[in-house]
Structure 1
Amino acid sequence: MQDLESQLGELGFAGDDMVVPFQVDALDVRGRTVQLGGLLDTILERHNYPEAVARLLSEVIVLTTLIGTSLKFEGKFTVQTKSDGAVDLLVADFSTPDALRGYARFNQEALEAAVAAGKAEPQDLLGAGVLAFTIDQGKYMQPYQGIVQLDGRSLEEIAMAYFRQSEQIPTAVRLGVAKLIDRDDDGNTRERWRAGGLVAQFLPEEAGRMRQPDLHGGDGDDGEPSHGMDDSWNEARAMVETIDLDEMTDPEIGAERLLFRLFHERGVRVYPAQPVYDRCSCSRERIMDVLKGFTAEEIDESTEDGKISVTCEFCSTLYEYTPQEVRDAVKGQ
């Protein structure tokens, strides 16, 4: 097995918007890490999100990227929150092989009130609700959905709870977001967003080694977990927990240097990086498929200045149709 330094001589550094898969054989750990730069900026700039909302959406986008790029089939992976907080909807989806998009919905007044009250932490802005992970393999397969409660924990903790409850795979997750301020070539001040993350999973050949401590039984359960974690996983998890925000977002560190810092003593192997792109799955045809379900009354109500206008919430692309186009499409079904 080549060491990381030898591999980098052949593969080079991945850079931004590239997911780097890795494996640590000595610890039976596999995972993926990423730093998002220009892609993230593009997604956030379309909607000019307030900083608190941008940070939340960035975490969801990173999480979606890390999990979505692990799909081994053609399909779509979606992470979505629905809650009663000031930010009541966050959604990001990854369509194989490399298309990513994201969107956030929030109540401006509630957001401003939360920030003014000093309650702008992610768990405060999300409130109570659910986080859903959905895997869609196409129209001939039943979608799979896992749901975790939003209960005041961070998105990192909620993601780990999902893997524990739904996948039963010991998993460590780290997410980080940073807003950088620098100057462009003309000397003008500008803001740039960066985000990064890492997912590591314990996947030994012996399934019994993956056993985790029993879940707490709730109120009245004063007992200790009946068994502990595997030593290899304890070591790997402890290493992942040492990652700080700067390491996940600093372009001078990058994915490979971070992996080397974490696992070089154990021998870490990296694989060719996988690019991700800001690509929306909307199209004129797909929007028309939705409009085909309109009644005659709904078509009339949606018509303004002689046309029906629909703007994609994700990419802000505007689609325009004449009422007659929609009526003809309805008749042609």
Structure 2
Amino acid sequence: MLGSKIAWDDTVLPFQLDASDIRGRVARLDGVLNRILAQHAYPPEIEALVAEMALLTAMIGQTMKLRWKLSLQVRGDGPARLIATDYYAPTAEGEPARIRAYASFDANRLLPRVDAFSQIGKGYFAILIDQGKGMVPYQGITPISGGSLSSCAETYFAQSEQLPTRFSTTFGTTRLAGGEEHWRAGGIMLQKMPKASPFAAQQDNEDGLLQAADILNDDDFEDWNRANILLDTVEDMELIGPHVQPTELLVRLFHEERPRVFDPQPVHFGCNCSEEKVRQSLSIYSAKDILRMTTDEGVVTADCQFCGAHYVLDPKTVGFEAEESPDGDAD
């Protein structure tokens, strides 16, 4: 499609539907997504999975407190083995959040012209929240289910958090007038905030996984169902096109639900890899192990899967039997 850069690109707009007790986020990713995918020459099927995962990460991550980290992972036994994303919450008020993502896949097993999600196979969808030094990270896992990564995330919130959640997402390549082709993604997240139903654990679902109806009473379910019907009317171009602002979209979709918006959160591409962290990861290896990792050129190398950074280290300075410190002093 033809499009143009808009002010809302690479932002997440939190909102609330006061008439329905529903909160949500509208997200648009442009430069962030393009930067993520530009690090690798992924096949189209893998690009689609990474794009959707990054969009989900932006919307879910917006609720993270300052300095917290959110990680999403999908692991499967199909050609798409791993999709991993990280969301770094701002370190201070007014600063942007940062996102990074990468995928691991078996190119020889990928099926061309086959739905991207089906190439994950059987596996799990996981969310990890790191609250910082001295805190125990939280991890929740749910089986791969539904027909998209968005469905997996919805199942996770219903099953692990007992929060009815809905995502509407779209993504693809776009071309600025007279410019180069690049990626853009947009989505809306809705989340109902009731108390969990006391009968939720007793539901006899075919796959053992909770759904929204299992954790809502009649009145809450009516509000939730009405908001979902309204969300079903959203069009792809309203989510990623240059002509409809997120605030205008919320009014168009939910004007009877009394939408109220909050300050938007800017999102940038960001990676926290460093030579120090590479050295830390190698500190568990003996000198014999380090020797096996040493190249014919006499160095140890490491590449960041997220940002493509390349590190070259002197083997004498790494491992728990290092002969020298990084600054050249003998240990």
TM-score range, shorter chain: 0.7 to 0.9
**Cα pair distance change 1:152/1:325, threshold 3 Å:** same
- Gaps of at least 5 residues in structure 1 are 1-12
Amino acid at match of 2:129: I
Matching residue of 1:156: 150
Partner of residue 192, structure 2: 202
Aligned to 1:260: 251
* Mean Cα deviation higher: 32-41 or 145-154: 145-154
Check whether the contact 1:78–1:134 (CA below 8 A) recurs between aligned residues. yes
The count of corresponding residues between Structure 1 and Structure 2 is 306
Amino acid at match of 2:315: P
* Cα distance in structure 2, aligned partners of 1:154 and 1:297: 45
Distance in 2, matches of 1:183 and 1:318, equals 35
Distance (Å, rounded) in 1 between the aligned partners of 2:198 and 2:236? 28
CA offsets 1:192-250 (integer angstroms, 9 cap, x no match): 1111111111125xx3789879744338xxxx979645322221122122223222221
> Secondary structure, in 3 states, of the residue corresponding to 2:59?
helix
Mark the CA change 1:211 to 1:18 in structure 2 (over 3 Å): closer, same or farther: farther
CA distance in 1, matches of 2:83, 2:172: 18
Check if 1:109 corresponds to 2:108: yes
Distance 1:217 1:267, change over 3 A: closer
Structure 1 counterpart SS, 2:108: helix
Q: Identify which of 295, 298, 310 aligns with 1:306.
A: 298
Instruction: Tell me the distance in 2 between the aligned counterparts of 1:16 and 1:233.
Output: 28
Aligned counterpart, 1:99: 98
Query: Any idea what SS the aligned residue of 1:92 has?
Result: strand
Cα distance, 1:72 vs structure 2: 2.2
Normalising by structure 1, report the TM-score.
0.84
RMSD, aligned CA: 2.6
CA distance in 1, matches of 2:40, 2:276: 24
Aligned partners of 2:198, 2:206: CA distance in 1, in Å?
Answer: 23
The superposition leaves residues 250-272 of structure 1 with CA deviations (integer Å, 9 ceiling, x where unpaired) of 13223222212111233211111
Residue 278 of structure 1: which of 264, 269, 272 is its match?
269
**The residue matched to 2:291 in structure 1 has which SS?**
helix
| Residues 45-56 of structure 1: pairs in structure 2 closer than 5 A | 45-56=38-49
User: Which residue of 29, 32, 38 maps to 1:36?
Assistant: 29
Range that drifts further, 127-136 or 322-331: 322-331
CA distance in 2, matches of 1:213, 1:249: 38
Asked if 1:192 is matched to 2:182, the reply is yes
CA distance in 2, matches of 1:238, 1:213: 27
CA–CA distance in 1 between the matches of 2:201 and 2:165? 13
Matched with 1:320 is 312
- The structure in which a higher percent of residues are helix is 1
| Structure 1 residues 215 and 176: CA distance shift in structure 2, 3 A | farther
- Which residue of structure 1 aligns with residue 163 of structure 2? 169
What secondary structure sits across from 2:40 in the alignment?
Answer: coil
CA 1:268/1:209 → structure 2, altered by over 3 Å: closer, same or farther? farther
Query: How far apart, in 2, do the equivalents of 1:109 and 1:208 lie?
Result: 45
Provide the rounded CA distance (Å) in 2 between the counterparts of 1:99 and 1:210.
Answer: 38
Give SS of 2:168's match. strand
Relative to structure 1, the CA distance from residue 255 to residue 214 in structure 2 (aligned partners, 3 Å threshold; closer, same or farther) is farther
Greater Cα shift, 254-263 or 308-317:
254-263
Q: Residue in 1 aligned with 2:210?
A: none
Q: 1:89 aligns with which of 82, 90, 115?
A: 82
CA distance in 2, matches of 1:175, 1:241: 11
- Report the alpha carbon displacement of residue 65 of structure 1 after superposing the two structures with TM: 0.9
Which residue of the other structure, out of 131, 135, 142, is the alignment partner of 1:141?
A: 135
Given that 2:68 and 2:89 are in contact with CA atoms closer than 8 Å, whether structure 1 keeps it comes out as yes
Map of 2:93 onto structure 1: none
Distance in 2 separating the partners of 1:101 and 1:213? 36
Paired-residue identity, %: 35
2:3 paired residue number: none
Question: What is the identity, as a one-letter code, of the residue corresponding to 1:198?
Answer: I
